[in-house]
Amino acid sequence: MAARDGGVSCLRRSEMIGIGIGELESPPLDSDQVHVLAVDDSLVDRIVIERLLRITSCKVTAVDSGWRALEFLGLDEDKAAVEFDRLKVDLIITDYCMPGMTGYELLKKIKESTSFKEVPVVIMSSENVLTRIDRCLEEGAEDFLLKPVKLADVKRLRSYLTRDVKVSGDGNKRKPSTPPPSPSPPQLSCTTSMESSDSIVVDDDSLTLSSESSTSPMDSPMRRLEMKSLPV
């Protein structure tokens, strides 16, 4: 059904039309619209994050690996960037745990690049490992989202974006039609012995965070503090 082997879009256009995911009647990339590059090896998660982002008026490109992301950005050695007059990415959101290249490694490469180091990068992970979060934030990640990602999480991300874009309401309303005013091998390489020896792992089920993450302040250090104060 869907293209499991990746490529720039996680689903071919015909499939997206067929299952009604992704508003293909939306205009081509337009300089006023926020463009997010989403990176996740899980097809289900890509679909969900793509929908979450579209519902908050973002244009989304979803890829299934760090390598594809670099390829898309033109940061890999061999191939040229995808042809846009000006490749414009306003936010990169990536899963941490991916085979081949982790989200952390992708983050580093982006921050090392001249063209994209200013682009905010958000890391997503299903595991609340504090040393992992710290490493990512120290490397320049804008924020760290705990999976499963919710609408409130994505809405909060808008504060990192340079463009001032109206966010559509919750739930059943369609996105506004008017444009916004003015952005190996299968072996997982994310579990290193270095990380597991001194980290505190908090299982999802023991967290008592409210499901509405919009209650936590916008800036990432506060979110970290909030998580650190929870009983383990």
Partner 1 sequence: MNTIVVGQLQRQFQDYIVSLYQQGYLDNQFTELRKLQDEGSPDFVAEVVSLFFDDCAKVINDMSTSLERPDHVDFKQVDSGVHQLKGSSSSVGARRVKNVCIAFKECCDVQNREGCLRCLQQVDYEYKMLKTKLQDLFNLEQQILQAGGTIPQVSMN
Site residues for partner 1 per CB under 8 A: 1-2, 19-21, 23, 42-45, 47-48, 51-52, 55, 97, 99, 126, 147-151, 170-174, 186-188, 203-205, 211
> Taking the complex as a whole, how short is the minimal distance between the CB of residue 14 and partner 1, in angstroms?
15
Q: In the complex with partner 1, which residue's Cβ is closer, 130 or 209? A: 209
Distance CA 109, CA 117 (A): 9
Smallest gap from residue 7 Cβ to partner 1 (A): 17
Nearer to partner 1 by Cβ, of 42 and 131: the residue is 42
Amino acid at 169: G
Distance between CA atoms of 156 and 167, rounded to whole angstroms? Answer: 10
Alpha helix positions (H), the chain: 13-19, 43-55, 66-73, 103-112, 130-138, 151-157, 193-198, 220-228
Q: CB of residue 113 vs partner 1: minimum separation in angstroms?
A: 28
Report d(CA 88, CA 35) in Å as an integer. Answer: 7
Q: Output the smallest distance, CB 99 to partner 1, in A.
A: 8
d(CA 12, CA 79): 21
Among residues 31 and 215, whose Cβ is nearest to partner 1?
A: 215
Minimum Å gap between C-beta 152 and partner 1 is: 9
- By beta-carbon proximity to partner 1, the closer residue of 50 and 71 is 50
Query: C-alpha dihedral over 85, 87, 88, 91, to 10 degrees?
Result: 170
Determine contact, residues 119/94, Cβ cutoff 8 Å. no
Comparison of 52 and 63: residue with beta carbon closer to partner 1: 52
N- to C-terminal Cα separation, the chain: 42
Instruction: For the CB of residue 48, give the shortest distance to partner 1 in the complex, in Å.
Output: 5
Nearer Cβ to partner 1, position 182 or 191?
191
